[in-house]
Structure 1
């Protein structure tokens, strides 16, 4: 992993800046066991907690949540795994209780799995406390949030990893192998997105035992994601969840390793899906939720231009009926792959103007990580991806190595959200994309593959 992040020695000044940003703070290398904390024990937090509890090289020593029900469920999980009871924080409802967790002695790292709007401040507090961070996706809300997270990491040198699990999806990683092998020729265009019917996630009846589709409440009367996530659909219009789509595309295009995003614009459709769901699908046309004016367009399309000439399209589609898909497309001078129909076409290999099934290619180019850890990933969340992303964070910490999805990846992928909001608000204006690396992208080495250890 280190070879992917170290700068060439051509610029001493840039090299010093990169090392201070990416190298972990002084910690014992080669540790065999970690003591970790978890901030946020809701439904996503419990998925991540499961992966931590499955490991023999991790001791979960601290849990924090201001919802006693969720904290209790997390403790019950620990007990079922027959692990030592961790210290708990937040039972009193104190929203700053996580700071007490960060003060706990002997903490090797913390995973943040709270609502999006809390990620930046919690990560900043953790890095200031010299506690390495594994943060669930969405690094911040505003553009300033992203700069603040970046500057804190640069100043403290504390490791930070964005826990983007789709980068570890089996077909996505096989395609990464194919891109690196040159099978698609020179890359020209990429697509991805978050296309996932979340209507039943954004509303429920407030019952902790019925979090999905049980009603049309949200906000204070809702539960789980309906309590906080739906408000983003009310107040914001943009690409609200970019990293699932942009993460793999950025890896394919060597973003921050000889390439970068240069421009962005975004368009949003009208907003009809959520009101239709409440009024017609749930039969609650007279409920107050049916009268809410949702700002988020049902389909948001974002386009990015890259320094090396590639274009990338992202689509956010969470308010209309549709089966789950991320809509990946990798296209180059010699062919393309599309995940929606599990198909591939390689000129000179495939029959002219015909698709091939992707399975034979996936088997041939299966990533070493999947070959090595598929059995351990079986049964893990999101088809095994959650095992791999937690594994990567844990193994990088144990080895005192740079994070595979580092601070530059985190802030650039996540900053697509406020930039897309700005573009839409300013009449679909094309904006210059900030260079968070401040020129380091020119000399950082490409990622040829994730390390076969993690």
Structure 2
């Protein structure tokens, strides 16, 4: 398996796009104040006032009732609007169209050719021609204002996720974004507050949580096979150098330019989400602090020197993003989670995906397991022999279509199933905010020589109560 195909859509223009100009102008401030979150004044501006309890970070006052345990409204047909039809959105639309009771109503991307190709897929699937929105970067707002959409899916460059999620909820839509949900703590808090006030779900659609191995380990952990959980690890280790310098894969250099702005973990969600699920983060435990360390930033410059011709625009870039970031996250129960990020050096793909407890451990890439009393003599066991612990989704869909080993299909199937049947989603806005928080906090920690940074309690103290999550029961249909 490989990474969730990066989400991108930049408009084709004769010169640099308005979006590129905007972010280039903001680079000195590390992207609209991202690095500024490490300064005392910016930290004070973020809504993290001291809380009543020692383990929680307080939230702003402008919020409503919790969204924990709130189901979707049941509906006969799920009507979807898709924003962003690049590599990710352009492939995920196939899965939405393959789902029972789902109709793709509207499409948005500034690149008209991409919208036309996606619209053709809709009509080929036997659905009515979708409405299309191609009038510049902000035409997504018009899509969100439609009254015939139930769920908005955003697969765009990272810096647009916050604005799109916010716009969707303000217009009464449930919304899901690709990684990350937002780039700053104040933005994460704003989306949590807005979800509560509007009663709309705001989800980080983390496909790796639906991987077969991840879901099997989850059920085994909850059944006590690993004993008392102690530690876990997750990562996004993927050599993206060739893609980031490819002039056609990403439209514009937006993905590579993030390496000129931040030093922290730019993509924590793929590794963090599954391990957080194993440990019932926000469902009986919570993450409280993170310490991060980063190597020098040498990989992209070395690749550029070897592969890019003189005069290429990339030669004007100075890279600061650590080639390898390593973060240690501690939970309220004292457990430790290790997160790693590296897309700038040569190595095989890995999400690490490990979990250890008092009875043994699992490690992925390659998959292997060591559990007492099944294994002994310091020899790894065969993880395939634990297939009886597969999640019901994988038992019912043994060979799912779509990318990334079938996890994309599982995500869309389960999401649309919850929407149709009026079920509580497998994860919520509190998980989305938690999984994205390491992005700004790891940058802050690295710039502070690894000093621990407090992770906010986005649940406002409700994390200590056990509740269902990814380890779901098969619904009656």
**Match for 1:374 among 385, 393, 398?**
398
Deviation (angstroms), 1:48:
1.4
User: Does the 8 Å contact 1:275/1:291 carry over to 2?
Assistant: no
Q: 2:380 aligns with which of 324, 349, 355?
A: 355
Trace 1:130-279 onto structure 2 (pairs within 5 A): 130-206=172-248, 211=249, 223-224=250-251, 226-279=252-305
The C-alpha deviation readout for 1:251-274, integer Å capped at 9, x for no partner, is: 000101110001111001011111
Task: Find the aligned partners of 1:82 and 1:399 in 2 and give their Cα distance.
Answer: 23
Among 320, 339, 343, the residue aligned to 1:314? 339
Ranges of 4+ aligned residues in structure 1 off by more than 6 Å: none
Residue number in structure 2 paired with 1:21: 67
1:419 Cα deviation (Å)? 0.6
The one-character-per-residue Cα deviations of 1:7-40 (angstroms, maximum 9, x if unpaired) are xxxxxxxxxx99642465884x3x2311111011
Q: Secondary structure of 1:374's match? A: coil
| TM-score (norm. length: structure 1) | 0.87
Contact 1:39 1:98 in 2 (8 A): yes
Q: What is the CA RMSD across the aligned residues, in angstroms?
A: 1.9
Any conservation in 2 of the 1:240–1:417 contact (CA below 8 Å)? Answer: yes
Does the 8 Å contact 1:278/1:285 carry over to 2?
no
Find the residue that maps to 2:232 and give its secondary structure: strand
Could you give the per-residue CA deviations for residues 25-63 of structure 1, whole angstroms, max 9, x where no partner exists?
A: 884x3x231111101111100121010111231110100
**Out of 425, 428, 438, which is 2:450 matched to?**
428
Task: Determine the structure 2 residue equivalent to 1:216.
Answer: none
Which position in structure 2 is the counterpart of 1:5? none
Residue 446 to residue 22, structure 1, CA distance change in 2 (3 Å):
closer
Aligned residues: 414
Assess, with a 3 A threshold, how the Cα gap between structure 1 residues 444 and 344 changes in structure 2: closer, same or farther.
Answer: closer
Q: CA offsets, 1:113-158, max 9 Å, x none?
A: 1111111111111111111112112110111110111111011111
Residue 217 (structure 1) aligns with = none
Say which SS state the counterpart of residue 467 (structure 2) adopts: coil
Of 59, 64, 77, 2:103 maps to 59
Deviation of residue 391 (structure 1)? 1.6
**Residue deviations 1:72-124 (CA, integer Å, cap 9, x gap):** 2212322333332100012x32x221111112122111111111111111111
Matching residue within 131, 138, 151 for 1:96: 138
CA, structure 1 residues 86+270, in 2 after alignment: closer, same or farther (shift >3 Å)?
same
Deviation readout 1:299-350 (Å, 9 max, x if unpaired): 0001100011110000001001111110111111111110022111112211
Distance 1:323 1:130, change over 3 A: same
Deviating more after overlay: 139-148 vs 99-108: 99-108
Measure, in 2, the Cα distance between the counterparts of 1:60 and 1:446. 29
Which residue of structure 1 aligns with residue 356 of structure 2? Answer: 331
TM-score by length of structure 2 reads: 0.83
Query: Is the contact between residue 39 and residue 63 of structure 1 (CA under 8 Å) also seen in structure 2?
Result: yes
Gap regions ≥5 residues in structure 2: 1-62
- Checking the alignment, whether the CA contact within 8 Å between 1:161 and 1:404 is kept in structure 2 is no
State the alpha-carbon separation in 2 of the partners of residues 26 and 433 from structure 1.
28
Whether 2:468 is the aligned partner of 1:443: answer: no
- Is 1:300 aligned to 2:344, yes or no? no
